Chain A
Amino acid sequence: MRFILRRLCLLPLVVLGVTFLLFFLTQRLSPEMRASLYVKDPRQMGALEEVIREYGLRDNVFKQYGRWLKNVAHGDLGYSPSANMPVAQALKKYLPATIQLAFVTMILVVFFGVWFGAASAVHKDKWQDNLARFISVGGFSLPIFVLGLILLMVFYGQLHWFAPGGYSIQTDIIIHGGEFKTYTGFLLIDSLLNGQWRVFGDVFSHLILPALTLCIGSFALMVRVMRSSMLEELGKDYVRTARAKGLPEYQVIYKHAGKNAIIPVITLAGIQFVRLLGGTVIVETIFDYPGIGRFGVLAAQQLDIAGILGFSLLVAVLFVFGNLLCDLLYTAVDPRIRLE
């Protein structure tokens, strides 16, 4: 309990640090440049000065930052010209898609990573081990944008199995048709709650390629960590005890060694999950996936300062909460941490 509070104390520090740094950087741009995005018509250049005056863009950086913080406290993150809606609304719209993507990716990574890693350790230097090593080294050395483009070329360009984007036009019509109720914002869950199996299938099929692309890089690391952790545990005395007790081999491996070997994997999975939440930028861009990564990229490209600040604020918050979640998971598995 005490350490949850300690972790939460970290939250304002991280958030203030990240946003102030960004705020400070954006001050390198002149007030005219920062205001220009809000003036659509080139003939009304006079309006530029008006915007600068209205929002106090010539004020001292601390004063401007203080004003931004005050607005954030009231739930107002500003207006994002790149997304054509208020920043808060944009984040609310795009975040669930990213969480969905990160979640499906992590399920794939953890499941296959643990499985391959354990098999690799149990059958050390046999073909299972070599296969797992081959796949993980291959996945590790293949850049995400190359892999993503190859997958897109093969499965969309050639085979027409999976399309880019978040969902198809048919699904779009159903979702915005009025009948479809939004419960959580997560389309995978909402489609089930609405009994729309086809929407679920459609959204899921759009997740597969980006998830697979993200999966391969993280998977490689997961296999390595699980393999070495499992090898270490299998050599320990308690494994010998478990065998001496006459337990079946699968219990010795999965219940005894596995439960200990999984501990470092949880840390890694936590870090990777948090990284995916804020950093699926490349993959979301390649697959035109409507998540916050793509929102962040568009905002940055168009100098949409409110959008960039909102995006980084969200990522910072997610980062702290993700790490907290990871620590909590840790204590659930390891009694030595839980009880001490």
Chain B
Amino acid sequence: MQVPVLQVESLRVNFRTDLGVVPAVRGLSYTVPKGKVVAVVGESGSGKTVQALSILNLLPPAARVESGKILYQGKNLLALKPKALRQIRGRKIAMIFQDPGASLNPVLTIGEQLCETLCAHQKISKQTARLRAVELLTQVGIQEAEKRLDEYPFQFSGGMCQRVMIAMALALHPELLIADEPTTALDVTVQAQILKLIKDLQRKNGMSVIFITHNLAVAAQVADEVLVLYAGQCMEQAPAADLFKNPLHPYTQGLLSSLASVRQKVEKLPAIAGNPPRPGEVLPGCPFAPRCPQALKKCFESCPPLYENGSRRTRCFLQEGK
């Protein structure tokens, strides 16, 4: 049994909107093993970003954690006082975001933003922090780091900004990195470089990563373990190799068959018919049932539990008793 770095237990997050309470995450549980990459995959609105933001309590004001626990080193992060949580943010658990350009402060230099992270958690002089910042930028593949420290984010390209974000996140050797769609806003070639960089640094530092993406191909490149989210619930969790070779849940099967492949030539990519439930719409049965080609009658009546089978968990009645 691997030692978990982070445990999420029956997490529920709701949004309060003008239309009433909208559940975004509905009883999500998973663990992140030490030194492993867990990919959280799902469509937009599946709750993948919201669950990640709740780990460090960075949810927008309209969202609220209703129940559940997020355990880190035996402490429930959701119950921590702001000061104690601040000690963990950036130092133990770091985060990078989807839009690197907007995630950096436009009026502060890159150096300032890097150094303040170091200074917030360590008692070091400005000069030492600057030297360390040069080191960090070099580590993420930015040339002439010394000079570039005095530049502003708008003088960097999107890929470069994401490298800066990574350097900032890894500055204090965190145990866990939460990467929220870090490559979505980037060109495909830059995407590959950034993925490689994250993977390399993860291996080198023995860090755990929660990698959030809507792109199964990206998940396949980086993940050890994959978690498929749909309408705020976990549909399937499995080691990456097993999941891609033999997906058990019809939703995962649908996702995989809709991927374009270089090897096979097809006229039209198959797609999953229908749409995910609207926000706030809670079905009595399985949320995927209306779109599921293999749905049974009972799928519409009650929601299946997660069936465990070895290292895999699947929320589907078809797995009952297997």
Chain A residues with a Cβ under 8 A of chain B: 235-238, 240-249, 251, 255-256, 259-260, 263, 333-336, 339
Contacts and interface: CB of A to CB of B under 8 A. Distances in A.
Given A244-B56, A249-B82, A238 B104 contact: yes
Given A238-B102, A336-B154, A339-B152, A244 B94 contact: yes
A246 B107 contact: no
A interface, by DSSP: helix, strand, loop or mixed? helix
A237 B107 CA distance: 14
Given A256-B108, A259-B107, A335-B107, A243 B120 contact: no
Interface string B75-109: 00000001000111111001101010011111111
A242 B168 CA distance: 11
A269 to B, nearest CB: 17
Interface centre among A244, A248, A260, A339 (most CB of B within 10 A): A244
Contact of B152 (A238, A256, A336): A336
Interface in B104-147: 104-109, 116-117, 120-121
Nearest to A233: B105
Contacts of B89: 243-246
B97 A237 contact: yes
B58 A259 contact: no
Chain B interface mostly: mixed
Contacts of A244: 56, 58, 89-90, 94-95, 97
B152 A240 contact: no
Interface in B26-42: none
A256 B108 CA distance: 8
Contacts, number: 82
A247 B94 CA distance: 12
B165 interface: yes
B97 A246 contact: no
A208 to B, nearest CB: 35
Nearest to A239: B105
Interface string B137-177: 00000000000000010110000000001001000000000
A123 to B, nearest CB: 12
A257 B291 CA distance: 44
Contacts of A240: 58, 97, 103
B207 to A, nearest CB: 16
A214 B82 CA distance: 42
A120 to B, nearest CB: 16
Interface in B288-302: none
A256 B105 contact: yes
Contacts of A263: 107
21 contacts: A236-B102, A241-B104, A241-B105, A241-B168, A242-B105, A243-B89, A244-B97, A245-B94, A246-B87, A246-B89, A247-B90, A247-B116, A247-B120, A248-B86, A251-B116, A255-B116, A256-B105, A256-B108, A259-B105, A333-B107, A339-B152
A237 B99 contact: yes
Contacts of B90: 244-247
Contacts of A237: 97, 99, 102-103
A251 to B, nearest CB: 7
A260 B152 contact: no
A259 B60 CA distance: 21
Contact of B120 (A241, A248, A256): A248
